[in-house]
């Protein structure tokens, strides 16, 4: 059996995640959350979005439950019919400092 941890901090230290990896994870979580919010604001169910995009509803469910990492092209396919897209924007000064 694997190691047992009593505190999240102990487990987190064992993972040894770099600041870049942490930023990547946070970005993915933010993108998924924004996609879910866009779907809900558009008053679409996962099934409705599936019909609009051609992406199967179970795949949308896996993305939204964060059990699968979506590719950028998949996110764009999901967002575009709802009137959204993904943009590259400059980081805020404090964000740049945490990635170094």
Q: What tens digit of pLDDT does each residue of 3-56 get?
A: 776 787 777 778 888 888 988 989 999 999 999 999 999 999 999 999 999 999
Q: Which domain holds residue 50?
A: 8-88
Instruction: Return d(Cα 26, Cα 21) in angstroms, integer.
Output: 9
Do the Cβ atoms of 85 and 79 come closer than 8 Å? yes
- The pTM of the full predicted model, rounded to 2 decimals, is 0.76
Work out the burial of residue 39: count CB atoms within 10 Å of its CB; fewer than 13 is exposed, 13-18 middle, 19 or more buried: buried
- B/e letters for 11-21, b = 16+ CB within 10 Å, e = fewer, are eeeeeeeeeee
- What's the number of domains the chain is made of? 1
Q: What is the CATH number of the domain that holds 82?
A: 1.10.260.40
Domain membership of residue 58 (yes or no) is: yes
Domain membership of residue 66 (yes or no) is: yes
What residues contact 11, with CB distance under 8 A and at least 6 apart? 5
Domain membership of residue 44 (yes or no) is: yes
């Amino acid at each position: 059996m694997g190691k047992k941890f009593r505190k999240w901090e102990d487990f987190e230290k064992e993972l040894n995640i770099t600041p870049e990896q942490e930023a990547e994870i946070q970005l993915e979580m933010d993108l998924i959350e924004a996609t879910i919010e866009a779907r809900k604001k558009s008053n679409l169910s996962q099934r409705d979005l599936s019909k609009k995009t051609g992406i199967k509803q179970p795949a949308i469910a896996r993305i939204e439950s964060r059990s699968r990492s979506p590719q950028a092209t998949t996110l764009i396919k999901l967002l575009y019919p709802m009137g959204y897209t993904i943009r590259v924007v400059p980081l805020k000064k404090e964000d740049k400092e945490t990635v170094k």
